[in-house]
Amino acid sequence: MTADERSVLQQLDRIVRSKQVRAQILPIVERVRAELARKQDALMAWEAIALTLFGDALPAAIRSGWVFILRAGANTGAERHPNSHQRMMSFEGTGNMQTAAESASGSARAPSDIVWQSHVLVSDTEASLEQRWISIPQNVWHRPVIAKGSDWVVVSFHTVPAKQLIEERPPDNAAGAMKRMLYLAPD
């Protein structure tokens, strides 16, 4: 991790761990938790965080914030963001955010072709920055794998506005097409 990237993560960490911001994130977590409970077959649920919640403290490159809850025992599959650098922290629980071990930008591949590197993240405030946060550059394949014990709550920051965040998923086979979606519906 570069010194500049470490500085960004430290700044985000200070913001999210502040009592004032944490108190405002907790009701969002509860709404997302209720949504996941309603959708029994969903692997995850999410909500964008209004950037005003953070005041003017965010690094300039951050254009959206999110709460995601990933269901216990889930592997949501490979995804990447072609238009955003993602920074993510473990807010509650533990999970393994796996990333492609090599640069996977360029042509789409079947998920079975990706070599994964594990990054187990914890929510222990005494743990090191690297044990709580991950930085995922634009176009890098990643997939969260969650243990069966409890859901994993994460706070994620992206370098594009919430309505522009694109998720790509690899085709199911070599002849298939890349799958794309937006996390929020356009106006």
pLDDT at 108: 47
Q: pLDDT tens for residues 72-122?
A: 998 888 999 999 999 999 999 999 999 998 654 445 456 677 889 999 999
How far is C-alpha 134 from the chain's CA centre?
Answer: 9
Which domains does the chain possess?
A: 3-182 (2.60.120.10)
Q: pLDDT tens for residues 4-24?
A: 999 999 999 999 999 999 999
Confidence of residue 186 (pLDDT cuts 50, 70, 90): low
How far is C-alpha 161 from the chain's CA centre?
Answer: 14
Q: Please give the structure tokens belonging to residue 144.
A: 């969260």
pLDDT at 151: 96
- pTM for the complete prediction? 0.91
Q: What mean pLDDT comes out for the span 142-158?
A: 95
What phi and psi values does residue 78 have, to the nearest 5 degrees? -75, 140
SS (H, E, C) 71-131: CCCCECCCEECCCCCEEEEEEECCEEEEEECCCCCCCCCCHHHCCEECCEECCCCCCCHHH
Percent over 70 (pLDDT), the chain? 91
Q: Cβ atoms within 10 A of the Cβ of 183, count?
A: 18
Q: Which residues on adjacent β-strands are paired with residue 133?
A: 89
